[in-house]
Chain A
Amino acid sequence: MHVAIIGNGISGVTAARWVRKLSDHKVTIISSETDHFFSRTALMYVYMGHMRFEDIKPYEDWFWEKNRIDLVTDRVESIEYTDKSLKMKSGNDISYDKLILAVGSTPNKFGWPGQDLKGVGGLYHVQDLERMEEYSPNLKKAVVVGGGLIGIEMAEMFVSRGISVTMLVREPSYWSGVLPPEESKMISEHILHHDIDLRLGVNLGEIHDDGSGKACAVTVKETGERIECGFVGLTAGVSPNIGFLRDTGLDIGRGIKVNDHLETNQPDVYAIGDCAELTNPKPGRRGVEAIWYTGRMMGETCAYNICGKQVAYDPGLWFNSAKFVDIEYQVYGSAPAQMPDDMASLYWQHEDGEKSVRINYDKNSKEILGFNLFGVRYRHKVCEKWILEKTHVEDVLKNLGMANFDPEFYKEYEPDIIALYNKQEGTNITLKTRRGLDKVLAFLNR
């Protein structure tokens, strides 16, 4: 059996690796972006000079041959679902028995005037990075449009090269659609502290042409202010990369529609990762979740299904992570921007404005619901187990040291957090378990 995979990102590659682990099927990965898999989330570090492109490739180049995973650098022009073949740009068409679509996303463009000028681009593909490199020499000023995770990454990249940055963010506070107000405020201030000119509550009006087809300035929609710049970064989110699949008989909504087994409406065609849209997402989850971790889980699940082991996709408890310049971010479970009525929240913030811990729990039952962490590291498995076991918030607090994943010698803030809870709830609980591995192992293996 031949399993063809379009896309060599984390989803496609994870699927390929698991098909190889579970079977002897022939596996081919097709990509027009790069010859080899690389960590998309690490592109920023190449630009900043922290790593070379070679370093963000998780496997050495001989890995693929050793594991009998064929790599094809080519572009799929169209898919023939009935005779199960891929029409390739090079003309070397490929036939498949099972097809996995892992074609990722593309940066959003909302029809802004000038959005297709030279010196305008998002940050998703290697080619986007190359564009940024191309325009960076002698660049004095860049404007970044959009206040999500990519926006702040792009701003940090330019700042690392001494290029000044203005960020135009639609929301009244940085990433306030996702972060609760306190955290959003803290990160907004952190961004300003790094000399990034963060403009909140504004939209991009238009991008101006310098006469040669290249961007030279933007106009802010609300104020009409014109900002001269040599590069415009469009980072207002991403959408499934489904342009070439529209009207081909594939069921498409926002993304490629898939069932619980990640199957599309076409026989033997699966879709995973950023480009897939689950028809029945789990409660509290979205149909399209364009994040690294879900891509990886989908790749694994898809491989099981292809290898005859039926298993429904279940991303488990929500988690995610990011880094905002110098502040690390981790979230486990439920930490919504808008607090539901039945959710109570314990929010502790360090006076340095670079660390915070939010612990959400049910107002009535006091069951733990989620953790939102900035500048403090918590253990994924401990937090997950507490949440899945519906642990009482006070039991969590008493043992909070088990969750602490900060390096040795770091100050432990658990007593401060408990003191805050005692103050808030009028209780008198104390910390029983401090940071350390032995207690954690005992707890996780219980």
Chain B
Amino acid sequence: MNAREMAAMAARGIVTVKPDVPMISVGLGTCGIGNGADVLFDALVDAASGGKVLVKKAGCFGFCAEEPLLMLYRPGNPILLFGDVKASKAGKFVDAACDEKVYNKLAKTARAKISNWDFRTSAFDFGQGFPEIPEWNEMPFFKGQEKLVLRDCGLIDPENLEEYVAVGGYGALAKVLGGMSPEEGIAEVTNARLRGRGGAGFPTGIKWKMMRQNVAPAKYVICNADEGDPGAYMNRNEIESDPHMLIEGMVLGAYAMGAATGIVYVRAEYPLAVERLRKAIADAYAAGFLGERIMGSNFSFSLEIVSGAGAFVCGEETALIASVEGKAGRPLPRPPFPAQKGYLGMPTNINNVETWCNVPVIIARGASYFTDIGTEKSPGTKVFSLVGKVKNTGLVELPLGTPLADIVYGMGEGAGAHKHIKAVQTGGPSGGCIPASKFDVHVDYESLASLGAIMGSGGMVVMDQDNCMVDVAKYFVSFTSAESCGKCAPCREGLSQMLRILTAISRGEGGAEDLVELDRLARVIKDSSLCGLGQTSANPVLTTLEYFRDEYESHILEKRCDAGTCESLFEALCENSCPLHMNIPGYLALLEDGRIEDAFELTLRDNPLPGSMGRICHFHCQMRCRRETLDEPVAQGEIHRYLADTMYKMGREKDVWARLVKEKKPATGRTVAIIGAGPAGLAASFYLSRLGHDVTVFDSKAKAGGILRYGIPGYRLPKDILDKEIELWKKLGVKFVFNTTVGKDVKFDAIRSQYDALIVAVGAQADKRLGVPGEDLPGVHPGYEWLEAFSLGKAKKPGRRALVIGGGNVAIDAARTLFRQDCEVTVAYRRSKADMPANAIELAGAEDEGIRIEFMLQPLEILGEGGKVKAVRFRVMRAGGIDPSGRPKPVETDRIVDIPCDDVYISVGERVESAFLASEGIPALKDGRIAADALSGRAVGNVWAIGDAVTGPATAAEAMGLGKRTAKAVDEELMQRDVFGTLFRDFGHSMDLPPEPLKTQMCRSKQVPPEERRGNFQEISMGYSGEQALVEAARCLRCDIRANARSPWR
């Protein structure tokens, strides 16, 4: 191969890189094929047969979530990128390639365009046009990416050497062999400050220099493609999509270091990568880029593939060498380093795939081109596999130093509005878990290490609230423990001991001393293991212990796994996600067996307000119901409402109540005061009085119920149901002191000293202000305050045109209440409909009633006239990038609108009013929330805090859950006993597996039609009929039946 032959080869390659005829290319990496790209490709070939459309295989463009990816090119136009293309559309694409009209129409569905492409070793202009289609790097997933390593991926055919040469491939090799000395080559890599991309970040130039200096009869270069990190697959993609860049990098390295033989060690799980690399090597030999006297020079180099056989430890260089030598892959102590004594005892250099792939660019463009990208200490880019609980998954390549938040929320676009991202795991089993609070970290070797994580080979697994961090630690330790080669004791024995402890914790069998032991073990393993596998294996444990200690404590002390992962710790996911941990499968089974009274009693013991909560609950249970994967979740709440309504109607609750009263524990002589008779205070007082304590509840209002009575309108929760349920408290002997505000009517300190325990459950009802001019005009009402006044009959008659600002449940409650007062109601919210925090069913109800909801409006000013509200001025927003709440951030536009109105109701959130506690030495956070222990609820001394006062505005069920939890903790503290479990009963419900389910919809209860809702507060939902309740209960898949590990689907 000489310069002229190479130019001829490039010319042949250009014909298919930027052809003169229309071209369709499909990304045929493993990801694409796994999503049907091969079927699509075959269909395209069929459709195009005989025509003049070029149908081409390409590598992967990186956006794996959107596979199969298709690129459509008509000469003179930009390349158009289409995602998620079905094989049935093949004909359409071929038509579009041939026919401009069809093409222009189809272009409207393109995800992006590529007008020009920088192959780094060359650049191509494909064409201009389609101003309305974003450039590829304007799409959120690609925005900020810098494709240096992935320079050719998706644009060229990985099996076509000519295309690689056409985009400048092997140009660096020609440059070097044409007159650069090996030392000059090493200097270029050294000056580029390239660092090992396998994760450790050792300077590549120094490694090469050490190798160069060793004189020996033979020297070897090895490519480590044993990508064993679960969760990382960039090396697979790099080889599958552009194998020649690896070969070129290795030849360049071999020349610089004086090696004549190279080996690529690829894992066997990557058959496609092996196949493509094998072909590329054969082609390179045939063209003279490998073999004897490469490109006419005196340099000869042979390259072959060794396929690994599945052992994670072989990623360690000395173990890898042992494996190549045909032995079990057990590492050796270093020194001697492989550069001194490696494969067959000869000097050997091992670099990761991606490290090699950077070399051709560094040589072709010079070190300074490379150092202009990335940070001072970590120049260049890194490819990451962004996977897990994030919307856009795929391979992203970014300049080192990019903030982690940009990756997760920018490119990944978060996890959606309903899930919150908890952590990112980087570096696989050797890495750590970075909590969301540290997402401002810049991704480079040193910054990640400072958090206890590592960059590793580039796996980034995003985790959300449904992932348990104890389980994550256990998962990695079980992996490393299984993969430990067994040679050194700290790793072999230490990891199995850590696994034993973690398994015990995940089964609820852990003790507080286990955390100390884990920490100690982890540090010993880290300090004394022989190789990298052991030395880094403690990172997942150490980082989760540091950043997610509360989860470990919850598993150990409470025997709970809030994420719903550790199966020994819950009955079913619905039960586990219910803040009150209601035994949902239990009452469903009892109802099915016709045991209504028992079913009711079971719900009542778990949740003392079953009728009320069955109406207004946020239904955390439904969000994790496994039935949803089949059709729709089970309406668990509707059923406990049905049970309560039925019992109250028949008057049979009295027997159940009598049982509870009768089995009250003997009087303990201890006194408990609770401030606030809302859901949290009611739950705490219910359990504490059943435990035998003398409980007094203070409330500033005239009746109990808090937000259930004064905030939630009657059409959702009729007050007679609440009154009925609260009778039970009186029967249990709970004392209420109404119309008494603590801190004003009675001194906090007086109560605190008078009672053995004091529980603060004051809620979060202080409306937040907008902070815009005109907010104090007459006619402007804080939303919650207004709802409360309305429920007390103290609100003035509203004007005709009502404008509610906000998107939460308080806003919708206010809007629907105003609708019932014959107002013309508009709701204005600053984000989109999908991002509204209000319950979906409430939002749908409001829309049914004809309430106008305007989205993307940010209030600027409340305009007045004659000393009264006249209108509200809004700025129109548009959806920007994803913010840490998982929703698109509203971004300002130039447009301003005024919405005229007579009254404005501001419901943009509530905060905790805890100023009165500050002087009492009760710790509070900046936003007013009371600081209390996450598990017990204890704030300080004999003062405890529960509900919204601790969490900020949350759901009634969550408030009750905290009340229940703290009741247990207070009892244990006051009595030094553990009897909480005796408040519940086993009703011996059926444990028979239901038959194989057929697809059915959730039963819908009858509703009062919208047109009959104006002017009255009649309850909208009429609840289930007996028949509906039975049908719905039978839809339960009974996830709680797992004793024999049989799936209920069988």
Q: Do A and B associate with each other?
A: no
Chain A positions near chain B (C-beta within 8 angstroms): none
